[in-house]
Structure 1
Amino acid sequence: MKNIYKKVACLLALGLTLASCDDYLNDVPKGSKSPTTLADYEAFLRDEYTNHRVDITGASQLLNDQYVTLASLASNRLYNALYMWDENADRISMKVSDETMYYSSYAGISTFNLIIENALNTTKATEAEQRVVWAEAKVLRAMNYFNLVNFYADTYVASTAATKLSVPLITSANINAPSKQVTIQELYDFILNDVKEALPYLLKVSQTPLHPNLGAGYAFYSRVYLQMNNYTEALKYADLALAENNKLYDWIGYYNTNKTIIDLPNSYTTTTSPMGYTYVENYTYRHGTYNSLTTENSIPVERAQRFEAGDAKFISRWKLYTVGAETYYRRTLSGAFNFGGITTVEVYLIKAECLARAGQISEALAVLNTVRKTRILPASYQDISTTDKTVALNAIFRTKNNELTNTLIPFADARRLNAEGVYKVSFTKTANGNTYTLKSDSHLWTMPFPQGAVQNPGNGTITQNVAK
């Protein structure tokens, strides 16, 4: 890891007295408290700002799910390269400074490693209680590794996963712990094993929204298996997750309750986001960028056009806005947003895809329409009905992309579909009289590691996964 990351890890190990960096640092500094009880370690699972941040800014910009202002495009070359799909840009040279996605993910992994290493030896707890915290940290560590591998490495393809490199695997909180840039297959095996070991000990009801419960474990397993194109296992765990929580939020009711504010012409007064800690769709909550704790991204006009007519969730979140030479859909919700966790709507749509893949088209559409009935206003709603597998899958993909915009999932799904080669994802837009295209086979779909990580990899080595 980069030197600054080593300092952060050492502060976690010393200043917060979580673990020692070297033998000579084993003594607890005067005035500090060395964690010994399970409660001491469990408290770090509640550190939202350090351990539950999932910043996928680059992916949102590439998909044009996030509006980037003209000023930002002019001042930030990396933003411009991603947002305008510049195939010639050297993104590696543009990543001189730290990148939040990389360093926040590994900071969280360091904490989860610490808990996994120590939870089973803590005091003032039964073994059953210890196992719960240990299991929760296992799931969260696996989630961070899933995010990293689906950002900085190629997507999972069974025939090449054992030969292509992924990201550094670190399994200890010790500052000098070795890291190895393992293959994609090795990392997926590690992720699956973490969840497998955790599942027997996860609680059905979480202590807080930040603690993954049994439903979260099943839901995440389903997400991982879908990314591996294992539709049988993805469907199995989707059903298990929905047996734990199958609630869908009534966005039509939300719109009707707030329509006086939402529909007021030329007004951008915000309403309160229901997608926070107590959102009924949550399995586990994790936020996105720091700004996403209080607001969400505005979106381009072209992106807004891909939502269904009468989508109450869309209408409740964004409103067309013009300032100077720029027109986009401005955010109109404020509060908390579960952009990094897992929700029931994702699992419903995983189930729908798996059923469609198996040729069970009517069953897949029944699941899809169950979701849509809570989103599309009655005046616009019609059941999607078809016997065509491709039509059904494209409808599922459209709804899923709209539901999970500004999360990692549309980016991960697009990479998965492009690798499959049947339902390829590409985009075209016109700006300033020029046409821009993001091709399905573009190298832009894989993000480069930040320079600091490659040049200062800690006790290991890192090889870039892209040329530029």
Structure 2
Amino acid sequence: MKKILYCLTLTLIVFSLGCKKYLNEKPDTKLEIPTSLTDFQALIDNVSIMNFGPSAGETSADNYYLTDADYASLSQDNYKREYTWQNDYLFSILGNNDWFNTYRPAFTSNTILQNLSLSNYSSASQSTYNNVKGEAYFTRAQAFFQAADLWAQAYDVNTAGSQLGIPLRLGTDFNEKSTRSTLEETYDQIISDIRSSIKLLPVTPAHVIRPSKPAAYALLARVYLAMRKYNEAGLYADSCLQIYNTLIDYNTLSTSAAYPFKQFNPEVIRENKTPVPMPLNNSRARIDTLLYSSYANNDLRKTLFFKSSTNGTFVFKGSYEGGSNLFSGIATDEIYLIRAECYARSGSITNAMKDLNNLLINRFKTGTFTPLTAANSSSALSIILAERRKELLMRGLRWMDIKRLNKDGANITLKRRVNGQTYTLQPNDLRYALPIPEDIIQITGMEQNPR
């Protein structure tokens, strides 16, 4: 298995960078190519590759801020540039950056899909074959969606056919030139992959590190939410919750624990993590003051999600990873909020508030929660979106939300103040599509995101 992983990693480096010197290297005949279902399942189960979320969206979003001293302590200049929404050089060059780590699971998935037909398996192994194939489709879709969230503009049905999308690498030939699809083609591919996975995945996975049918429904709901296709988002959120809808009663958790939530807790539908980059380390990242103050005193999230830092500030401790890594997977609380939002947008106020209250009664101290009400759809939507931000902070979703909500006219303007200078990101700014790493542009000749 180590030989297989080494082979894939080496090939991916060539695939990602297009470095010509590798073409002249004599292949190592000892390297193994995966051919069996066992090999493919082992590749899928490599969580350090396949269950990985990029950090740049959360680093760029507005859930936190850095003091001048903490900003100065960032030893890598690209993080300073990322924090202040600079036009270029936001990612380390030829390194272990978000681009490499986002496309790596897509490449591994391509390897599996391309070679599955060559594997020998009996009819008794059909379910394993279907599961592996479904997991590969799911993981590629998730990788492409994460890439689109970072390196493409918010989806707009009126312009998606002409806007820049991402490179859709669907094979393993690193000699194939990378080109950018349109945004419409990007999302069509993502949706196609998820729909393919739904047909193949089991209802209950062997473990939540693996995708499942409810996870695929949930991912499709998230994708349609990003596209602002709210009817479809609500339908697929409902499909997920019809299968799995467990919520944790936060009263059962310890508010004094360093990390109150267990990894793989009962709300997790599919595990995915984001290793914490320098700006988001809880020794630096201070939670936005207005966001923290928006939690009611009886709201257990106020003590389970945060701990006090210096000078009356607060830092985040509420990751569903059970430690310092950030959870970027799929959990039932997010899906309840998607369905609630879509109900509100469709005018189904009673159902919208029922979903929201079902979530919140599990977040407040026992006996202190008064169900929320809304007089109209607009009021319901406002309440639900406020709770969405409070519930899902530091999960890699805020950047997507800002982009889509600004397309809906939310007029969210981001501001940072560093050493007396104010940096501003206006609604629908071109910088919401982050710059593709400059070395990738130089090597591939792809078009860079405009500024």
Quote the Cα distance in structure 2 between the aligned partners of 1:246 and 1:252.
18
Q: Of the candidates 113, 116, 120, which is equivalent to residue 116 of structure 1?
A: 113
> What amino acid maps onto 1:63 in structure 2?
A
**Is 2:394 the partner of 1:406?**
yes
Partner residue of 1:17? none
Quote the Cα distance in structure 1 between the aligned partners of 2:172 and 2:328.
23
Contact 1:96-1:451 at 8 Å conserved across structures: no
**Is 2:347 the partner of 1:359?**
yes
Question: What are the superposed Cα offsets for residues 217-268 of structure 1, whole Å, 9 maximum, x if unpaired?
Answer: 11111111122222221111111100111011111221xxx24xx2xxxxxx
**Is 2:436 the partner of 1:465?**
no
Partner residue of 1:197? 196
Partner residue of 1:270? 258
Q: Of the candidates 74, 88, 92, which is equivalent to residue 92 of structure 1?
A: 88
CA deviation after TM superposition for structure 1 residue 335, in Å: 2.7
Quote the Cα distance in structure 1 between the aligned partners of 2:149 and 2:29.
40
Partner residue of 1:10? 11
Partner residue of 1:105? 102
1:325-364 aligned within 5 A = 328-332=313-317, 334-335=322-323, 339-364=327-352
Superposition TM-score, scaled by structure 1 size: 0.82
Partner residue of 1:280? 266
CA deviation after TM superposition for structure 1 residue 436, in Å: 5.7
CA deviation after TM superposition for structure 1 residue 69, in Å: 5.1
Indicate the RMSD between aligned Cα atoms, in angstroms.
3.1
Give me the identity figure in percent.
25
CA deviation after TM superposition for structure 1 residue 212, in Å: 0.5
Quote the Cα distance in structure 2 between the aligned partners of 1:6 and 1:425.
45
Contact 1:138-1:194 at 8 Å conserved across structures: yes
1:434 to 1:29, Cα distance in 2 relative to 1, 3 A = closer
1:382 to 1:440, Cα distance in 2 relative to 1, 3 A = farther
Contact 1:73-1:79 at 8 Å conserved across structures: no
Superposition TM-score, scaled by structure 2 size: 0.85
Which 10-residue stretch deviates more, 425-434 or 207-216?
A: 425-434
> What amino acid maps onto 1:410 in structure 2?
R
Partner residue of 2:370? 382
1:22-101 aligned within 5 A = 29-30=29-30, 32-56=31-55, 58-68=56-66, 70-74=68-72, 75=74, 76-83=76-83, 85=84, 89=86, 91-95=87-91, 97=93, 98=95, 100-101=97-98
CA deviation after TM superposition for structure 1 residue 179, in Å: 2.7
Quote the Cα distance in structure 1 between the aligned partners of 2:14 and 2:449.
31
Partner residue of 2:3? none
Quote the Cα distance in structure 1 between the aligned partners of 2:277 and 2:88.
25
CA deviation after TM superposition for structure 1 residue 448, in Å: 1.1
> What amino acid maps onto 1:236 in structure 2?
L
1:119 to 1:383, Cα distance in 2 relative to 1, 3 A = same
> What amino acid maps onto 2:29 in structure 1?
P
